[in-house]
């Protein structure tokens, strides 16, 4: 079932420049090819084998088609739903990273405990969240006294859980920003 008022995140001009077709042409073609009954992998293989679409665009066309036809929600991945929230903070990346890794500091902005699976100093933390979902905290320097912090939470069970965690991380990163700026 096609979604009313669905708007792809890429323009017709961009997709046509890279793939040779606009969204409406791709959607008509994929409908005719039976893509509504195909798995994601089968749609990607069709785009690769029959249309020589490059790898990144295979995914973009397949996911956008699935979303437009109501086969996949925005933010839905094969392993569950995924959200991402970021904040630019007027502090060095090392201070933001420490606010995640120093338990005493972290308790001031994030009450939840978690398990760090892998840490790359001042760059990323790979985290198992309390409900066994995954969080990646990424840190990007934007100069000496400015950084961007991204919390990407994946393996969420549904759209409702995604919306809840999107708000959770927005509020948490706002508290972090307030604390360390």
Question: Alpha-carbon distance 81 to 61, whole Å?
Answer: 19
Q: What is the pTM of this model?
A: 0.71
**pLDDT of res. 7:** 85
**pLDDT of res. 72:** 85
Q: What is the mean pLDDT of each run of 10 residues along the chain (181 residues)?
A: 74 93 94 93 94 92 90 80 95 97 95 92 96 96 94 93 95 97 96
Q: Enumerate domains of the chain plus CATH numbers.
A: 12-68 (no CATH), 77-180 (3.30.530.20)
Beta carbons within 10 angstroms of residue 180's beta carbon: 19
Beta carbons within 10 angstroms of residue 62's beta carbon: 27
Matching residue, tokens 């890429």: 10
**pLDDT of res. 15:** 94
The helix (run of H) or strand (run of E) holding residue 163 is: helix 159-180
**pLDDT of res. 77:** 79
Tokens in use for 108? 């001031």
């Amino acid at each position: 079932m096609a979604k009313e008022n669905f708007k792809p995140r890429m323009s017709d001009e961009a997709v046509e420049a890279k793939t040779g077709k606009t969204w409406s042409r791709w959607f008509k073609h994929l409908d005719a090819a039976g893509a509504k009954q195909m798995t994601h992998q089968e749609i990607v293989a069709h785009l690769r084998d029959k249309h020589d679409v490059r790898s990144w665009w295979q995914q973009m066309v397949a996911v956008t088609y699935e979303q437009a036809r109501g086969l996949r929600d925005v933010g839905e991945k094969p392993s569950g739903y995924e959200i991402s929230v970021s904040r630019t903070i007027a502090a060095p990346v090392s201070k933001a990273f420490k606010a995640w890794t120093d338990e005493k500091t972290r308790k001031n902005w994030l009450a939840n405990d978690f398990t760090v699976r892998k840490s790359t100093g001042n760059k990323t933390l790979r985290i198992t969240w309390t409900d066994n979902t995954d969080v990646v905290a990424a840190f990007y320097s934007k100069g000496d006294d400015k950084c961007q912090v991204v919390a990407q939470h994946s393996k969420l069970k549904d759209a409702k859980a995604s919306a809840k965690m999107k708000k959770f991380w927005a509020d948490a990163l706002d508290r972090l920003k307030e604390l360390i700026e």
